[in-house]
Amino acid sequence: MGKPSKAIIDFMEKYKIATDEIWEVHGSTWVVKHKALERVAAELGVVWDRPAMIETNASEGIVSMCVFGKLGDHSEWSVGEASPKNNKNSYPYAMAEKRAKDRVILKLLSGHGDLYSEAEADEFEQPRRNPHVTRAADIVPATEYDKNGQPIDNIPLPDPSSVQKLTVKDQRPIFEALQKEIHATDSIDGLQAWAAENKDRLGALKNEWQEFLRGVYADQLKGLRELERGDDMRMAG
């Protein structure tokens, strides 16, 4: 492994990026973990606007969206894409959003061009300590549960008597539809009502897909709340 440039070292020191959150691929390209960029963005107070959907075809695994972010008076935007050509997992919406957000964060932090996000391309070959992102827990927030085992501020557990046992082949279109519906819901009340109405549909899926969709739900809810706070601030100003 080569030595990172002074610009990359300065970036790591300024934003407290740990040595195990950055690595070299292809002999010259330096990659930083998505979770590290997400942490820095949250600490600095990056504000996200509603993304603009460019292309959505869940059945084909093709998603493209434009994401807009702001840090103080500095605004940036970038496009994130996911398709079978550059994405080998079952989460095209999350991957497209992840790629777009990471690009925007790097632009806002003036790191774009020196650093790339781990989500930039599926062909990045990562060392063993940074396995390629394919698990739900590596892409979306982990679900929090209360002492009774119920998800906190998330899609409720399904009614066991209403859960259908389906093959993975029959589960896939349900999974794709639920993912698309979450992203299409544009209000907090609407998203929470959707969660109550669709918990049993979620229960028909394998556990990993259920946890992934709860993570997508958490991300969508967080984004809607940030938009609401931004609207309130603009009205107050």
Q: Kindly write down the DSSP assignment for every residue of 171-202, as one continuous string.
A: HHHHHHHHHHHHHH--SHHHHHHHHHHHHHHH
- With a pLDDT cut of 90, the percent of the chain lying above it is 37
Give the whole-angstrom CA distance, residue 225 versus residue 227. Answer: 5
Same domain, 15 and 106: yes
Structural domain total, the chain: 2
Domain final residue, candidates 139, 163, 188:
139
44-99 pLDDT tens trace: 999 999 899 999 887 888 999 999 999 999 999 999 999 988 888 778 888 899 99
Same domain, 180 and 84: no
Give the whole-angstrom CA distance, residue 104 versus residue 111. Answer: 10
* DSSP 8-state secondary structure symbol assigned to residue 131: -
pLDDT of 124 = 55
- Lowest mean pLDDT: which of 26-40, 131-145, 221-235? 131-145
How many residues comprise the chain?
A: 237
First to last CA, the chain: 50
Same domain, 93 and 61: yes
Same domain, 125 and 19: yes
Domain final residue, candidates 86, 104, 139:
139
Same domain, 63 and 91: yes
Range of the domain at 171: 144-237
Is the Cα torsion angle 107, 80, 211, 196 positive or negative in sign?
positive
Same domain, 24 and 125: yes
Same domain, 6 and 112: yes
161-198 pLDDT tens trace: 888 878 888 998 898 889 889 988 989 999 999 999 99
* Phi, psi dihedrals of residue 158, rounded to the nearest 5°: -75, 160
- Lowest mean pLDDT: which of 28-32, 112-116, 186-190? 112-116
Give the whole-angstrom CA distance, residue 47 versus residue 38. Answer: 12
Same domain, 168 and 231: yes
Same domain, 93 and 150: no
What rounded mean pLDDT belongs to the chain? 84
pLDDT of 134 = 44
Same domain, 11 and 29: yes
Same domain, 18 and 126: yes
111: tokens are 């790191």
Same domain, 108 and 5: yes
Query: Among all chains, which residue has been given the structure tokens 């996000």?
Result: 117
CB 22 within 8 A of CB 4: yes
Domain final residue, candidates 139, 154, 174:
139
| pTM, 2 dp | 0.61
